[in-house]
Chains A and B, each alone.
Chain A
Amino acid sequence: MNDVLDVALRLLALLLAFLVLPLLVGQTEHKVMAHMQGRLGPMYAGGFHGWAQLVADGVKFAQKEDIVPNGADRRIFQLAPAVALLPYLLVLIAIPVGPAEGAVGQFVDAGIFFVLAVMGVGVLGSLMAGWASANKFSLLGGLRTAAQLMAYELPMLLTAASVAMAAGTVSLPGILDAFEWWWVPWQIVGGVVFFTAGLAELQRPPFDAPVADSEIIFGAYTEYTGLRFALFLLAEYAGIVILCALTTVLFLGGWHGPFADDLGWLWTLLKTAVLAFVVIWLRVTYPRLREDQIQRFAWTCLIPLSLAQIALTGVVKVVIS
């Protein structure tokens, strides 16, 4: 009975984090973007600096009519948001937040593979949406999504493999246990590549050609309304949280820091929050890359860099052992 309670509590905590953290990132994006552009952003909803803006948005989305286009492939069209969102919820299970034994939803032996594999599944949702909408803009968006995923999955995997090589394990808590401070400069190139490739996989600016509003309306999500559209948006922000948390765990030492025994979880959250700020910052400061620039950047820049990082990791590993 105790085990059941333990599992139930863990799942509840995960669900709460999954529902709250993306909204926090979204609200921060509203405010940070606004201030960077010399605006105030939402100020009215909820009273204090518009803190309830996203709650209000959610209510608005829930009230809207759920429309499925006539020519669309109904079932796939309706299933797509779930396929896009659920993988991120699953990934959250494997991310360790603190040094204690129980500070991870579920210990996964092949943790890196688990998170990257399940994250890759989420993109299927965009592809399904793009195809099933029976809309040429959606189809173009889906095509761009697929091309982008194929180009950026490889550098992500390679750099994650570099960390696994350094730690000698593929489980996320194991990597954190093996972490030393000098890993940060050692793996910094890999970290940057991983973060960038992750941004591209989430289709965040400057890699948002798949949803480029000025070219193809809103890509694969053009035909969506109401709650299903909100689910796609939630998936994007959940993706930001997951990507930042993963980068923190793999490259920035996760819970390591002063007073890690007591405040480990705070360090994880803090590092994740800083990275999330960087994601927002990049959105405000960089123009969108063109489709061919996106492909060239992955194949001629990120992949060679990640291969170089793997070589460096191997050499250092052999020298110190």
Chain B
Amino acid sequence: MSSAVQLAAATGHGLAAPGHGFLSPTGVEIAFLLVGLATLGAAVVTVTTRQLVHAALWLVVTLGGLAVEYLLLTAEFIAWVQVLIYVGSVVVLLLFGLMLTKAPIGRSPDADSGNRPAALAVALAAAAALVWVVVDAFRTTWIDLDKGVQGSTAVSGESLFRHWVLPFEALSVLLLAALVGAIVLSRRNGDTGGTSGTTGTGGTGGDKGAPTRGKEKR
């Protein structure tokens, strides 16, 4: 008798686990949602604020929020790399560029390029494509948060260098091309030696930074 009850309980549990309910509010899921909302809010402020440096700082909040989301999904490695590359380097580079150019305290009314509708369209299209791809790829896959870390460094490294080596290498070649391109762009024509100052700024920022510098120069 009791074994039958246990069996029923077990099957009931077994059914519940894959079903998981559309909204089964565990603590982590609620936190995930809240952080997501905060991140979204920060992102919206980033693109709507009229103060340039504030936009860059809100971008820090946005990227940090994303890192927290990765952490909640147990992808620890990705989260810290996100902070290291984006908050630590890309935003510092952005701020550097902003300080070099005119970044007054207060509003900069001339900072709007008038491309709002086009930007909105591109953003919506990109968001729709991403959401569609992610939803289509994972549908109702659930991460079992209790079963140890599934995004640890070991797991990430293994999948990166076992299953995804070719895309990884292709990406690094792409970055190298961008780096070489930035050096070519930042060299003045016919200038053979170049002062130490220009070579310094051309190289500042490493593989990620150099292309951005090139863009800002134009």
Q: Which residues on A are within 8 Å of B, measured CB to CB?
A: 71-73, 76, 108-110, 113-114, 116-118, 120-121, 123-124, 127-128, 130-132, 134, 139, 142-143, 146-147, 149-151, 153-154, 157, 169-171, 292, 295-296, 299
Contacts and interface: CB of A to CB of B under 8 A. Distances in A.
Interface stretch (B128-136, B172-180, B199-207): B199-207
**Which of B89, B100, B103 gathers most chain A CB within 10 Å?**
B89
A142 B203 CA distance: 19
A153 B89 contact: yes
Given A124-B95, A146-B96, A150-B204, 10 more contacts: A71-B105, A113-B81, A120-B84, A121-B87, A123-B92, A124-B60, A127-B96, A134-B105, A147-B204, A151-B204
Interface string B65-102: 00000000000110011011001110111011011100
Interface of B: 53-54, 57, 60, 76-77, 80-81, 83-84, 87-89, 91-93, 95-96, 98-100, 103, 105-106, 149, 152-153, 196-197, 200, 203-206, 209
A132 B54 CA distance: 10
A289 to B, nearest CB: 13
B54 to A, nearest CB: 8
B203 A170 contact: no
Contacts of B54: 76
27 contacts: A72-B105, A73-B53, A76-B54, A110-B76, A110-B80, A116-B84, A117-B87, A123-B88, A124-B60, A127-B99, A131-B103, A131-B105, A143-B99, A143-B100, A146-B92, A146-B93, A149-B92, A150-B89, A150-B209, A151-B204, A153-B206, A154-B206, A157-B84, A170-B77, A171-B153, A292-B197, A299-B203
A299 B204 CA distance: 9
Contact of A109 (B76, B83, B88, B209): B76
SS class of chain B's interface: helix, strand, loop or mixed? helix
Contacts of B203: 299
Contacts of A299: 200, 203
B96 A147 contact: yes
A22 to B, nearest CB: 22
A150 B206 contact: yes
B88 to A, nearest CB: 3
B98 to A, nearest CB: 8
Given A295-B204, A296-B196, A114 B99 contact: no
Contacts of A110: 76-77, 80-81, 152-153
A146 B88 contact: no
A227 B206 CA distance: 36
Nearest to B83: A117
Contacts of A149: 92
A143 B105 contact: no
Contacts of B98: 131
Contacts of A131: 53, 95, 98-99, 103, 105
Contact of B99 (A108, A139, A150): A139
The 7 closest A-B pairs by CB, nearest first: A120-B88, A117-B84, A113-B80, A146-B96, A117-B83, A295-B200, A110-B77
Contact of B200 (A132, A134, A292): A292
A131 B94 CA distance: 13
Contacts of B100: 143
A117 B206 contact: no
B200 A296 contact: yes
B96 A113 contact: no
Given A150-B206, A153-B89, A299-B203, A127 B95 contact: yes
A146 B153 CA distance: 29
A121 B96 CA distance: 14
B200 A121 contact: no
Contacts of B83: 117-118, 120-121
Contact of A114 (B60, B80, B103, B152): B80
Contacts of A117: 80-81, 83-84, 87-88
Nearest to A139: B99
Contact of B96 (A114, A150, A170, A292): A150
